[in-house]
Amino acid sequence: MKRFQWILGVTASIAFIFVMLITSFEIAAYSDFGWYQKEYEKYNVTRDLTMEIGDVMDVTHEMMSYLRGDRENLVVYTTINKVENQEFFNEQDKIHMADVQNLFLGGLKLRMIALGALVLCLGVLVATRADWKRILPRCYQIGLGIAVAGSVMVGIYAAADFDTFFTKFHEIFFTNDLWIFDPRTDYMIRMLPEEFFADMVSRIGVIFAGGLLLMLAVSILCDKMFRRKGITQM
């Protein structure tokens, strides 16, 4: 029974870490649109698009609303090179972004499944009268070790050769090559250059790592507190 309870604890911890990962992505993408503007200024996006920054930001808001399922389509009109009412996204953009939307919404669904698994594991631990105050902090540390090992490998791969990492990511998650754009004809790739995605990955990583470290500190404090309490009661 104790082994089963520890398995439940580790499973709950891994589910929690996955929830944190998807939430970190959501925070990075949606919490501060000022970050996008800074990125656009950093990479001279307005010059490449011949657009004003306000118009670029309007397109960004519409695009991010679409990815979240809050907008039905990507028919977005804006001013480009001082010509009004031009459609920003072409057909390739729309098809690819529909794939991206499915990936994003799929991630949100997986987060709900992971959250359900977390609640179920906690419920079973309580129902079986497990010493969850002792088990969960240690299981989180075990789950964190597994997550860190995987994250470090991915991080080293991305840092060593982001071009290859970027390509492999798209080959794994997309079944077509519509993610390959031509800057001469596609506005979207001018707005979102590869360097932008490298910065976004770093942003997600910082938020995710910060959350993991905070919970690690909490788990260590809880572990020490409950150990001390157990010794006192003895």
Q: If you ran DSSP here, which 8-state letter would residue 80 be given?
A: E
pLDDT: is 117 or 225 the higher one?
Answer: 117
User: Is 188 domain-assigned?
Assistant: yes
- Report the range out of 50-54, 129-133, 159-163 with the highest average pLDDT: 50-54
Average pLDDT, the chain: 91
| Res. 157 pLDDT band, cuts 50 70 90 | confident
How many domains are there within the chain? 1
Query: Does the residue 72 lie in any domain?
Result: no
The answer to whether residue 211 sits within a structural domain is yes
Question: Does residue 59 form part of some domain?
Answer: no
Task: Of 25-39, 89-103, 110-124, 216-230, give the lowest mean pLDDT range.
Answer: 216-230
Most confidently modeled of 54-63, 150-159, 221-230?
Answer: 54-63
Residue 55 lies in a domain: no
Structural domain boundaries enclosing 227: 2-43+109-233
Residue 117, number of CB atoms within 10 A of its CB: 18
Q: 36-45 long-range contacts, Cβ below 8 Å, gap at least 24?
A: 36/60, 39/196, 39/199, 40/191, 43/193, 43/195, 43/196, 45/190, 45/191, 45/193
In the predicted model, what is the mean pLDDT of residues 6-29?
A: 95
Model pLDDT, residue 192:
95
pLDDT at 230: 54
**Domain for residue 52, yes or no?**
no
pLDDT over 50 at 17, yes or no? yes
Structure tokens at 83: 């010509």
pLDDT at res. 162: 87
Give backbone dihedrals phi and psi of 32, rounded to 5 degrees, phi first: -150, 100
Under DSSP, the state recorded for 33 is: H
For residue 233, pLDDT beyond 60? no
What mean pLDDT do residues 148-159 have? 85
For residue 82, is it within any domain? no
Examine residue 144 and state whether it is found in any structural domain, yes or no: yes
Q: Which of the two residues, 79 and 177, has the higher pLDDT score?
A: 79
**Residue 231's pLDDT is what?**
43
Banded pLDDT at 7 (limits 50, 70, 90): very high
The stretch 124-143 carries a mean pLDDT of: 90
